[in-house]
Structure 1
Amino acid sequence: MGFTIEKKVALVTGANRGIGKTIVETLLAAGASKVYVGVRKLDSADELVAAHGAKVVPVRIDMEDADSIKSAAHKANDVSLVINNAGVYQGGNPLDSDFIESTQYQLNVNAYGQVRMAQAFAPVLKAHGGGAFVQINSVASLRSFPGFAAYCASKAAAYSITQALHLQLTEQGTQVLSVHPGPIRTDMSAQAGLDEVAEPASVVADGIIAALAAGDYHLFPDSLAKQYYEQYQPFATNIVEAITDEV
Structure 2
Amino acid sequence: MDFKNTVALVTGANRGLGKSFVKALQAAGVKKIYAAARDPASIDLPGVTPLRLDVTKPDQIAAAVRAAGDVTLLINNAGITRGSPLMGEQAIAALRDEFETNVVGPLELTRAFAPVLKEQGGGAVVNVLSVLSWLNLTGAATYSVSKAATWSVTNGLRQELKDQGTAVLGLHVGFMDTDMTAGIDAPKTDPLDVARQVLAALADGKDEVYADDMTRAVKAGLSAELGSYRGGV
- RMSD between superposed Cα atoms in Å: 1.4
Residues 9-158 of structure 1: pairs in structure 2 closer than 5 A: 9-45=7-43, 47-49=44-46, 52=47, 56-158=48-150
Give the Å deviation of 1:146. 1.3
Give the Å deviation of 1:218. 0.9
From the two aligned structures, give the one with the greater helix fraction. Answer: 1
Would you say how many aligned residue pairs link Structure 1 and Structure 2? 224
Q: TM-score, normalised by structure 1?
A: 0.87
| d(CA) in 1 for partners of 2:223, 2:76 | 23
Identity, % of aligned positions: 39
Give the Å deviation of 1:6. 2.0
Give the Å deviation of 1:98. 0.8
Give the Å deviation of 1:203. 2.1
The aligned counterpart of 1:206 is 196
CA deviation map 1:168-203 (0-9, x unaligned) = 111110010000111011001114x14x31111022
Q: Structure 1 residues 233, 57: CA separation in 2 closer, same or farther (over 3 Å shift)?
A: farther
Q: In the alignment, residue 33 of structure 1 is paired with which amino acid?
A: K
Conserved in 2, the CA contact under 8 Å of 1:135 and 1:179? yes
Q: Secondary structure at the match of 1:96?
A: coil
Q: Secondary structure at the match of 1:111?
A: helix
| d(CA) in 2 for partners of 1:61, 1:232 | 36
| d(CA) in 1 for partners of 2:212, 2:171 | 11
| d(CA) in 2 for partners of 1:233, 1:203 | 28
Conserved in 2, the CA contact under 8 Å of 1:4 and 1:212? no
Q: TM-score, normalised by structure 2?
A: 0.93
Conserved in 2, the CA contact under 8 Å of 1:203 and 1:222? no
Q: In the alignment, residue 223 of structure 1 is paired with which amino acid?
A: D
